[in-house]
Amino acid sequence: MSDNLVQLLPDAIANQIAAGEVIQRPASVVKELVENAVDAGADEINLIIKDAGKNLIQVIDNGCGMSETDARMSLERHATSKLRTAADLFSLHTMGFRGEALASIVAIAQVEMKTRRATDDLGTRIAVEGSEVQAQEPVAAPPGTSIAVRNLFYNVPARRNFLKSDSVELRHIREEYIRIALAHPSVRFDLHVNDKLDLSLVSGNLRQRVIAIFGKKYRDLLVPIEEATDVLSIGGYVGKPEAARKSKVGQFFFINDRYIRSSYLHHAVTMAYDELLSKESYPFYVIFLEIDPARIDVNVHPTKQEIKFEDERLIYNYLKATIRHGLGRASIMPTIDFESDNPFSPSRTSYSPTMSQSDSEQPLPSKMNRETPRSGSPTPPSEAKRHANNLRQWEQLYENLEVEVDTDTGEVLQSRLGQEEDTDAPSPHGRAPFQLHHRYIVSAIKSGWLLIDQQAAHERILYEGFLQTLRDKPATSQTSLFPQTLDLAHADADLMQSLLPQLNQLGFDLEAFGGGSFIVRGIPAELAGRNNELDLLERLLQQYKTNVDLSSDGHDRLARTLARAAAIKRGTGLEETEMRSLIDRLFACEQPRVAPNGKKCFIKYTLDEVERMFAG
């Protein structure tokens, strides 16, 4: 025996080890074979699976096929017709990158390949087992390639035992299949599982493909997105908020047609939806990014489906903006899509005369401006229009609403509904809002009633107000009779110091005194009365620290946190005028439906629904 300890591994074992990297489970074989078929220019690809791929995975394509030499070569490691330079790794139209897939597969399975180029009379059949070629012969075959992989991991028992149940492995296979099918909607795909047709996808466009895979209900749920610059273009579809699911099932990113995962980009998408989604739900999306391969970091393991790019931040922002734009065009954002949502009948539109001027670019009815702009300049025209439009929609909800406005202060003195609808007798008291359990406000509307969560509603109102103040105008503060001192621990003092400019802008009269002390001379007029100054500031710091939302910029985060800290809490009794004011202000918000944290602000009950409940 040689006394050298270092030896070269036998080829077969080296191949098996390498194979373990590329091929982890049957789904990896599916991915590699189907991607090769796509690369070969096939427009029909047939995938046949038996026993979750443990016993058979076969891919038949009508692509370019291979010559006899190429067929033999393709099974060698690092044999590839595709890789030319590193930049090609993510080049636009080929999936393969290392010439290792086939070599890996033949190392750990029994493989039969039949292939013929359209220009050749005869094709080639090669049978391989554990990297050993068992047979190679001419064969009559249709143009294209068929590769059958049997008994995966037959010679690596540890791996084979490691495989999960058939249903789990099959799920992985379907996932890979769907990803590739989404990236190539013009290719026809058929999937057979245990001799049954499982999913057949005819050639079409992306929209048709998405609907074919995810179901007809997606017909009305897809919002196209599209945007392009020199370095980056974005296309595809995002789902309307209704398409969002509690589980992560419909999220697809493709970079240069390659499926990737990216929690970073996923975050950008979620942020684009903002409050349109509740916290725990995932939006549906199939998004294609085309990026100059030179800008992609290729030093990432190719099978991990992860990717790094230069300008990550830029791509993040661009993606977010693109989706917002798409949702906006589909009237989902920033106003709510009343048309498709159709929560209320648009048939009667007799909102009060005060509101009917809202098409003009006049400053909006004072009702809208009550929150922050006490000292304010008029709302910018475009924003005003948006508000107006939103408001008009809400007015239909609160049909016949009359608002009495104090002409000096712009305060809403009282709002009440004028005529009762249709045939009902007028009932002056019927419409007064009332509180339930010191928690909800019940407010009648034409078609039924709203159940409003007082805290969520107030958070929404404050949040929008704070944001606006931070953006455009300093708020007035209400000076306390006696200045108070807030003593903070070191870290909190630093945080407070960093928030000071924004807090001052929001109307906090606050000054650092040194040694972690701050003098509080006043708080925003909006918040005075209901809140103890020091408590409020401490709550704010506490929540600011826990509410770490990387996405939101400084303004947004502060506005959210402060809204949270200052909103009317559950258990607080409200006067009728307070309730009315809350309702008015809520519906003057840009997004009255949800609180900044995604919780609903109100639920609508219609008489129809209630009637159905009684129907028995």
Report the candidate in 227, 248, 290 with the shortest Cα–Cα distance to residue 91: 290
Out of 40, 268, 364, 450, name the contact with ligand ADP by CB under 6 A.
Answer: 40
Site for ligand ADP contains 19 (CB under 6 A):
no
296-297 and 401-405: which strand pairing? unpaired
Residues contacting ligand ADP: total by CB under 6 A: 23
Quick one: 36 or 46, whose CB is closer to Mg ion?
36
CB of 22 to ligand ADP, least distance (A): 9
CB of 131 to ligand ADP, least distance (A): 13
Quick one: 101 or 401, whose CB is closer to Mg ion?
101
CB of 347 to ligand ADP, least distance (A): 60
Binding map of Mg ion across residues 296-335, x = CB under 5 A, - = no contact:
----------------------------------------
137-156 binders of ligand ADP (CB under 6 A): 145
Stretch that binds ligand ADP, among 95-103, 252-260, 414-422, 436-444 (CB under 6 A): 95-103
Residue 532 burial by CB count (10 A; 0-12/13-18/19+): exposed, middle or buried? exposed
Assigned token pair, 393: 């929609």
Site for ligand ADP contains 458 (CB under 6 A):
no
Query: Which long-range CB contacts under 8 A does 297-306 form with residues at least 24 apart?
Result: 298/86, 298/87, 298/89, 298/90, 302/89, 302/97, 302/98, 303/21, 303/22, 303/24, 303/28, 305/259, 305/260, 305/261, 306/260, 306/261, 306/262
Out of 66, 187, 255, 307, name the contact with ligand ADP by CB under 6 A.
Answer: 66
Stretch that binds ligand ADP, among 64-72, 237-245, 465-473, 493-501 (CB under 6 A): 64-72
d(CA 538, CA 530): 15
Give residue number: closest CB to Mg ion.
96
d(CA 233, CA 322): 10
CB of 71 to ligand ADP, least distance (A): 8
Out of 16, 36, 352, 390, name the contact with Mg ion by CB under 5 A.
Answer: 36
Out of 50, 51, 99, 521, name the contact with ligand ADP by CB under 6 A.
Answer: 99
356 CB-near residues (< 8 Å, 6+ apart): none
CB of 547 to ligand ADP, least distance (A): 46
d(CA 581, CA 575): 10
Assigned token pair, 129: 């087992």
84-113 binders of Mg ion (CB under 5 A): 96, 101
477-487 and 412-417: which strand pairing? unpaired
Give residue number: closest CB to ligand ADP.
96
Residue with tokens 């992609």: 296
Query: Which of ligand ADP, Mg ion, none binds 97 (CB below 5-8 Å, type-dependent)?
Result: ligand ADP
CB of 153 to Mg ion, least distance (A): 19
3-state secondary structure at position 38: helix
Going by the DSSP 8-state scheme, the letter that residue 111 receives in this structure is E
User: Taking the CB of residue 100, how many other CB atoms lie within 10 A of it?
Assistant: 24
Site residues for Mg ion per CB under 5 A: 36, 96, 101
